[in-house]
């Protein structure tokens, strides 16, 4: 599980399947960015961040679940229909949303207790979404299994996460410097592009997940 190899293979897959991933996920990412912008306009600059979290919980499980199913199908050499992926994701949305909400609360609680507890929880839960979507586990079972699968691989997983997230964060920071006061349409474009690029992290984590499954001999 060499982090550089994982990142390289994930980048190759992301680039090769960029159009298919964009067709599957980008419309939902744009809708999420638009909904977040509308909520911010309605609540004002002093609005609670819980509104943004609620918008994320509405859309994030849909495009992330569809992406996970797409990654699994493509790894098996299949060409799934997008409508089938979205339909399957819609059926599991309540469980995925519950998992995402629980994970968010735990990570935020960890971050509030200084940085390291938050990073620890983040790393230990990285496989929970894949276990829920691909193995059909309940949210709590998926989180417990994720803790077990990540055992002994904390540094490698954290390295892969940082290797994927830091460049994306740099791109987002650079875009904010180029457009310090963007118009509504510019902000929508920036949020949509940055949100779409964040999907690369899901590709990296899927690659890690499959390597761990192969190591443990799980089907």
Dihedral, CA of residue 194, residue 14, residue 60 and residue 32, to nearest 10: 40
> Taking the CA of residue 162 as centre, how many other CA atoms within 13 Å lie in the half-sphere pointing to its CB?
8
Give the residue extent of every domain in the chain: 3-216
192 closest CA partner among 11, 25, 15: 25
pLDDT attached to residue 217 = 61
- pLDDT tens digits for 14-47? 999 999 999 999 999 999 999 999 988 888 777 6
Q: Is the pLDDT of residue 219 over 70?
A: no
- pLDDT tens digits for 162-191? 999 999 889 888 888 888 787 888 889 999
Confidence of residue 218 (pLDDT cuts 50, 70, 90): low
Q: The whole model's pTM is what?
A: 0.93
> Taking the CA of residue 120 as centre, how many other CA atoms within 13 Å lie in the half-sphere pointing to its CB?
8
CB distance 204 to 161 below 8 Å: yes
Confidence of residue 131 (pLDDT cuts 50, 70, 90): very high
3-state secondary structure of 1: coil
pLDDT attached to residue 95 = 96
The overall average pLDDT reported for the chain is 91
If one counts every other C-beta atom within 10 angstroms of the C-beta of residue 44, the result is 7
- State mean pLDDT over 58-69: 96
């Amino acid at each position: 599980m060499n982090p550089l190899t994982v990142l390289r293979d994930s980048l190759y897959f992301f680039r090769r399947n960029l159009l298919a991933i964009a067709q599957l996920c980008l419309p939902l990412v744009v809708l999420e960015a638009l909904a977040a912008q509308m909520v911010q306009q309605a609540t004002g600059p002093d609005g609670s961040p819980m509104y943004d979290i609620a918008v994320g919980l509405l859309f994030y499980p849909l495009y992330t679940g569809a992406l996970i199913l797409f990654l699994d199908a493509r790894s098996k050499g299949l060409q799934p229909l997008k409508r089938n992926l979205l339909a399957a994701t819609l059926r599991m949305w309540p469980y995925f949303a519950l998992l995402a909400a629980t994970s968010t609360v735990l990570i935020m609680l960890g971050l509030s207790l200084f940085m390291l507890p938050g990073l620890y929880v983040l790393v230990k839960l990285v496989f929970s979404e894949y276990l829920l979507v691909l193995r059909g586990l309940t949210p709590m079972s998926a989180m417990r299994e994720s803790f077990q699968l990540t055992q002994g691989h904390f540094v490698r997983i954290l390295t892969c996460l940082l290797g994927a997230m830091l460049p994306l964060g740099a791109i987002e920071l650079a875009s904010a410097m180029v457009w310090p006061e963007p118009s509504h349409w510019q902000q929508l474009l920036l949020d949509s592009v940055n949100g779409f690029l964040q999907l690369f992290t899901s590709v990296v984590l899927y690659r890690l997940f499959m390597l761990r499954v192969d190591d443990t001999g799980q089907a």
